Chain A
Amino acid sequence: MTGVLVGVGNEYRRDDGVGPAVARAIRRLHLPGVRVAIVEGDVSALLDTWEDADLVVIVDAVVCRPPQPGRIHRGAAPSTLGSAQPTSSHGLGITAALALAAALGREPRRAVVYAVEADDLGYGIGLSPAVSAALPVVIASVAAEIRVSAKTRRPDSH
């Protein structure tokens, strides 16, 4: 089983760094068969991260209305992101990247998105208290997700 964990975001925009923070924590766990990548949103880089992957888990920050900073949303991409519209100036966003991958026949076999509601997206490093509190939960959930998926798929790989 090849699993890929992609932390998406900019660590210098406060809570936008939650994806990279999860990625670094997962990297420290040295889970077998798992690649870890940090992407700031570049669509071509995103597509390359899940090349040949059985499972890709994407962690990103989101802004919701009404807001509840620190709330964690998990779902099958891209439905998790619902009607999200990217407002980034030059990144196309995860929804578009996954849709693009599907159109090109390069979608991951299975994708799961963890979206963490951000509180502070201002300039600077460090997560807000609400997102910091959510961080261990996201890390544990993502690690469990990858482990369960590895066990489920193991018989196929023999």
Chain B
Amino acid sequence: MASETTRLTLAALARVEGEGRLAFTVRDGQVEAAELNIYEPPRFFESFLRGRDFREPPDITSRICGICPVAYQVSACNALEDACGVDLEQPIRDLRRLLYCGEWIASHALHIYFLHAPDFLGVADAVELARIARPDIERGLALKRAGNAVLEQLGGRAVHPVNVRLGGFYRTPTVSELRPLAEQLRRALDDALATVRWVAGFEFPDAEIDCDLLALVQPDRYAIEGGRLSTASGTTFTASEFDDHVKEHQVRHSTALHARLDGRAYLAGPLARYSLGSASLSETARQAATDAGLGSRCANPFRSIVVRAVETVYAVDEALRLIGQYERPEHPYVEAEPRSAVGGGVSEAPRGVLYHRYELDTDGRILSATIIPPTSQNQAAIEDDLRSTLGANLELTDTELTGLCERTIRNYDPCISCATHFLDLTIDRR
């Protein structure tokens, strides 16, 4: 093998979008401040989308995240189609939903098995987990592969799909092309149900979030690719009214903007979706949730792993339903004509509501773009949780606290959660 024995100090591998810093100030045994600093790429994209053609955002914004590119594509399409007054035919909507199911399956499988489960099983990471629970990790890989297969078939490839366009798709699959996918998904459904049983057996600390919830709802199905915004406090509004309710503001300690819902901290993501929409799950997913001990709502952030597993069952089940009823649309897309308008669009990224807003001129040039990802929406709620967690555990060492805080953060699956030691913790004890 290699004769070279150079030892390197590598600060980082190259994909550097995930980085978290957490600073606490403790005075007289009380936590005064918990400040989480998350690096947030969408800000850059908002700037360089200005002046671009209105057909470009689905491809450009999909580059923001390698795990949820479909979410960015679909929210961008929803916003731009809203601006252009485009109404999609149901078969195209269904295909978009099917593509999105693939992303949910792949993203949830990654988080459940490779990022979150080690926290419950007393191992450092997925590699250690693989040594003691190989069949489980193999099941996680098979699920991830099934999600990737949906993305590849409909999107052209698993990461940063290229087949999505404003008004639909560049090409729609034939019925026979989806047949092998259905076979793989039928096996994946067994794996997804086994996943729910597996995570339901974990031990969960008692905890309950104390904030409002925000998720999309649809009257006849669990919301994924679109829907009406709904809150636990009883408000409902449309994507075009998002700006009236959700306000972003700058905080001194972070480059990411914080968002508040009607002046309050709030949570988006699996717990919000499930608590506001569990009645819309398929029978199979609902039964899996009941068997796992979930009620009609779930407020324990540690149990979010069970909710993600139930959502994975739903996504597989829903993908099978959509493939079962699929007939190839006559046209793969609806042509969108530009006009001077503003459009808002939302969809349920695996981590929660993702909002896009575009202002166009008459030629379809983008005058302004706003992208509010779930991680920045959840940041205030995560900080609240960290503050109370830390306050209850101040007797721990800084190393122990770092581990506890990382675990607390991972419950929310933000865009910093995968690195084993991702957190740079500073505690100012005065």
Contact = CB atoms under 8 A, between A and B. Distances in A.
A100 interface: yes
Nearest to A105: B134
A109 B420 CA distance: 27
Contacts, number: 170
Interface string B1-20: 11011111111111111110
B419 interface: yes
Contact of B127 (A41, A87, A88, A96): A96
Interface residues of A, number: 52
B14 A82 contact: no
Interface in A28-45: 40-45
A104 B137 contact: yes
Contacts of A61: 13-14
A57 B107 CA distance: 27
B394 interface: no
Q: Max chain B CB contacts within 10 Å: which of A10, A48, A81, A92?
A: A92
B10 A41 contact: no
Given A88-B15, A104-B134, A74 B419 contact: no
B74 interface: no
Contact of B18 (A13, A40, A88, A118): A88
A44 B125 contact: no
Given A42-B158, A86-B419, A91-B418, A121 B114 contact: no
A27 interface: no
A25 interface: no
Interface in B253-285: none
Interface string B419-430: 111100000000
Interface in A67-101: 73-76, 80-96, 99-100
B11 A63 contact: yes
Contacts of B126: 92, 96, 100
Interface in B89-125: 107, 110, 114-115, 125
A44 B145 contact: yes
19 contacts: A13-B14, A63-B10, A63-B16, A64-B11, A65-B9, A65-B10, A73-B6, A81-B10, A81-B13, A85-B420, A86-B418, A88-B418, A89-B417, A96-B125, A104-B130, A110-B1, A118-B14, A123-B41, A123-B63
